[in-house]
């Protein structure tokens, strides 16, 4: 399950994708539109800015905007920024690898093989889904 923080991040990014090319969007606008607590949203947007997805502008007419086009922002990247590893166990994580403390031999571990399949199935969806997909989804209220 993704965290509430990740869900809020995707909701905020959907608003920013809708406004792509129209200039900065105020945090208060996003918070009100998506019913996200403003202080929580500020921290989320800062994480996304610090990881290259967003840029911010200060002053009158300031706010946040996407740094890259919506079709280039993959769900997998957003979820890794906000929630960390997508893999169910660290031993199969592509970006956050860690050895299992109780594992004697990763090569022959049957549990690891199942966890790799799980990871790959999730990534097949998350790597191919972008913010643009949120805008073209046929099911209103997708997020």
pTM (predicted TM-score): 0.87
Which domains can be identified in the chain, with CATH numbers? Answer: 4-66 (1.10.10.10), 75-127 (no CATH)
DSSP character at residue 128: T
Distances (CA, A) of 130 to 28, 62, 72, 106: 24, 25, 6, 33
Mean pLDDT of the chain: 92
| Stretch 28-35: mean pLDDT | 97
- Residues 53-111 have pLDDT tens digits of 999 999 888 899 999 999 999 999 999 999 999 999 989 998 889 988 888 888 888 89
Write out the E strands in 15-137. 54-57, 63-66
Residue 97 CA to residue 86 CA, distance in Å, equals: 11
Nearest-Å Rg of the Cα atoms of the chain is 17
């Amino acid at each position: 399950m993704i965290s509430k923080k990740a869900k809020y991040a995707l909701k905020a990014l959907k608003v920013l994708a809708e406004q792509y090319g129209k200039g900065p969007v105020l945090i208060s606008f996003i918070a009100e539109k998506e019913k996200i607590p403003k202080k929580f949203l500020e921290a989320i947007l800062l994480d996304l800015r610090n990881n290259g997805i967003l840029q911010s502008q200060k002053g009158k007419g300031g706010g946040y905007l996407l740094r890259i086009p919506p079709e280039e922002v993959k769900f997998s990247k957003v979820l890794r920024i906000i929630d960390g590893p997508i893999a169910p166990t660290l031993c199969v994580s592509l970006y956050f690898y860690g050895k299992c403390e109780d594992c004697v031999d990763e090569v022959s571990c049957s549990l690891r093989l199942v966890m790799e399949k799980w990871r790959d199935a999730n990534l097949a969806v998350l790597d191919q889904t972008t913010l643009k997909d949120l805008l073209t989804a046929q099911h209103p209220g997708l997020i």
